[in-house]
Structure 1
Amino acid sequence: MKRSFNTAASSLLLLAMAAGSAYACTATAPKIVDKDISADYVAAPLVLLGEGRDGLTRIFENCASGTVEVDLDVDFPQFTFVRMVDFQGSSYPAYQAHRSSPLFIMKYSYNNYSNHYERPLALGSSSFRIRISTNPRVAAEVIVYALSRGGGMLSLPYGELGTIKATWNGGAGVTHLTTVRMGFQLRTPTCMLSDTLVDLDPVSAEALASPSSHAGEKAFDVRMTCVASGVSLNLNLADANNAGTTGSLLSPTADSSAQGVRVQLLHGGSPVSLGREWDHGLSSYGDQYIPFSARYTRVPGDLVPGSITGQAVMTVDYN
């Protein structure tokens, strides 16, 4: 009788150990990385502009020691790979949302409260294994960093960028799903244009006696100061006193007294096309000067001596 009792007790002990080795997954609600970053332009590369986190999520509780497989699926449709970067002692694939956005790097941080691990994330699917110690809890967090790209940068409208899904225990356990919503607002304009005043020298009526004749041409530059290089720029000139004006002749201001003459604008030796955008090329850091010239041009009607003033507004758009 004594031997039979010991055998039954041994059998019960084995059953208790088997029950303790199963993973008890907690239910994890979908998480969100929600961050709209605002930062000044930084010329140096790989400077941290901001970060977004979804907060620590408890994955397991009451875990026995063992190895757990984790399947990762990183899906960011807007992202394209730029280059590998070193950040805080680790190597990351860096991505851009558009060709002048900040660089984005991502990592999956997880721990079982006695050991801490960090895993750089790349687009696509991958898997890894984690050794669970006897400490009974495991938590994980998604972190997305925005870094300066070391050149021209433009803002990125706030919105959903993508998702990161981590399925623990090889697809048979809990899923840690994170939606990343981020934006980036550049506080400093990329380029600024300086006001320019041009005084044409007086000319005689005889210099403008012929129809469509020109006189008194003077060259001048418009200064454009850019805090970023490598950004595609489009320029546009418009008549300040008549937005619908086309061609190259500026409408006279209300205080102009001369008649039969207009101020004409030229760029690169050719008359400009008011209201039409043109490609200026890429910006460069610091001051750059855009060459123009202005001259008197004879127009139909009686030629009446006096003063003539024209005004134009130039804008710069970034691509």
Structure 2
Amino acid sequence: MSRLETASKPRLFLALASVSMLASTSALACSVHGADTFDSSITVQNELARDVALTEWRGLVEMGPDISPCARTDSLGLITVTKMKQLSLVRYITVDGQRYPAYGWNSASPLIVFRAYKSAAASSNTPTPLTANETNRYTATTSKISVGGGEYVTIRMHYKLFSRGGPMNGVESNILKAYTYRAGGTDKGNIEHTLSLAISIPRLTCRLDNVTVALPDMRASELPVVHSDAGTRQFQVMMDCPSDRVPVQLTLNDAGAATNTGSELTPSAGSTSKGVAVQLLRDGKPVTFGETWKHSNVRAGANAIPFAARYLRTGDDLSAGTLEGKAILRADYQ
């Protein structure tokens, strides 16, 4: 008996290969830390007009705290200016088309504005004004500043000085600080900005003109007794000032005797008369040499300071001759 055997069907074995794709993200280490320190000791003009720029923007330009690349969604938190209790908000000034709060140290100091300055490798430099905290007279903040996009970014604080309007005084060296924080909390790093600033301002000065006063010739009979006077002549010393409200104090001294606190001038060398002196008066009364007074209502241009001079008999023995005395008027500026 024969058997017909057929070939067995081939079997196909499929080995399913599985590829496991493990997704991973490489987070950008957004590190915010460093210091932005700028020392500045400058001299600016005593500009009398209001809101005139006294400096360009000043601060670190090329160097500064470097922020390592951050994710696109990252931003810095508020830059908060602190430790500025010596400053007070005065008014707002428009700078480069943006509104800035301007602060002052005192009622006669220049004004200062601040900005945060961001630069990155592939983006343009971006200034951001610091804006005033209306509930606190000496703090200011910026809006959030984007630092995302995988770039190295630097953030620096700049300042600019403006005239207050009217005569100004300088500012002694002082330190102002600000801090840049990561969004989400101060525990994620910060940049400390420190500005050490001293401002010198030349004082406004007025020019005093010399004046010579000639008293009339007198007869002895016109000065009959000791302390009698005669020949009074009014005169003015002209003072030219660059501005209204220049704070001027005046002092009159006897040029012949610095310690003289009376009102009669010491006779100059060459004087030959006896028993008589030249007496100076202000506001109708004998002056007191060495005494200082404030000259009020200073105006830009010529200002007249009125005085008078007269003969005063000082002794019993009176003899004719010539008589000359000199006084020095000094102006001091606050």
Fold in common (TM above 0.5): yes
Between the aligned partners of 1:101 and 1:190, the Cα distance in structure 2 is 17
Distance 1:243 1:209, change over 3 A: same
1:273 aligns with 2:288: yes
1:208 aligns with 2:219: no
The answer to whether the 8 A contact 2:115-2:127 is kept is no
Equivalent of residue 165 in structure 1, options 178, 182, 185: 178
Worse-superposed segment, 216-225 or 52-61: 52-61
Distance 1:38 1:133, change over 3 A: same
Distance 1:231 1:77, change over 3 A: farther
Q: Which residue of 2 aligns with 1:285?
A: 300
1:34 aligns with 2:49: no
Q: How many corresponding residue pairs?
A: 306
Q: How big is the shift at 1:111?
A: 3.4
1:183 aligns with 2:183: no
Q: Which residue of 2 aligns with 1:55?
A: 60
Worse-superposed segment, 227-236 or 270-279: 227-236
Counterpart amino acid of residue 36 in structure 1: I
Distance 1:216 1:182, change over 3 A: same
Distance 1:307 1:108, change over 3 A: farther
Give deviations 1:232-265, integer Å, cap 9, x for gaps.
2211111111111112111111221111111111
1:257 aligns with 2:262: no
Between the aligned partners of 1:143 and 1:126, the Cα distance in structure 2 is 13
The answer to whether the 8 A contact 1:33-1:52 is kept is no
1:299 aligns with 2:314: yes
The answer to whether the 8 A contact 2:98-2:129 is kept is no
Between the aligned partners of 2:106 and 2:328, the Cα distance in structure 1 is 29
Q: What's the secondary structure of 1:273's corresponding residue?
A: coil
1:91 aligns with 2:96: no
Q: How big is the shift at 1:219?
A: 0.7
The answer to whether the 8 A contact 1:112-1:139 is kept is yes
5+ residue gaps, structure 1, are: none
Q: Which residue of 2 aligns with 1:226?
A: 241
Q: How big is the shift at 1:109?
A: 2.1
Q: Which residue of 1 aligns with 2:20?
A: 6
Counterpart amino acid of residue 31 in structure 2: A
Distance 1:181 1:267, change over 3 A: same
Between the aligned partners of 1:185 and 1:204, the Cα distance in structure 2 is 55
Aligned sequence identity (%): 29
Find the structure with the greater CA-based Rg.
Answer: 2
Q: Which residue of 1 aligns with 2:129?
A: 119
Equivalent of residue 84 in structure 2, options 45, 54, 76: 76
Equivalent of residue 241 in structure 1, options 236, 256, 271: 256
The answer to whether the 8 A contact 2:115-2:130 is kept is yes
Q: What's the secondary structure of 1:28's corresponding residue?
A: strand
Worse-superposed segment, 169-178 or 292-301: 169-178
Counterpart amino acid of residue 171 in structure 1: T
Q: Which is richer in helix? A: 1
The answer to whether the 8 A contact 2:116-2:142 is kept is no
Q: Which residue of 2 aligns with 1:64?
A: 71
Equivalent of residue 107 in structure 1, options 115, 131, 148: 115
Q: Which aligned pairs between 1:130-169 and structure 2 lie closer than 5 A? A: 130-154=145-169, 156=170, 159-169=172-182
The answer to whether the 8 A contact 1:108-1:121 is kept is no
Considering only aligned residues, what root-mean-square deviation do their CA atoms show, in Å?
2.4
Q: Which is richer in strand? A: 1
5+ residue gaps, structure 2, are: 1-15, 133-137
Distance 1:135 1:180, change over 3 A: same
Q: How big is the shift at 1:60?
A: 0.5
Q: How big is the shift at 1:287?
A: 1.1
Q: Which residue of 1 aligns with 2:13?
A: none
Counterpart amino acid of residue 190 in structure 2: V
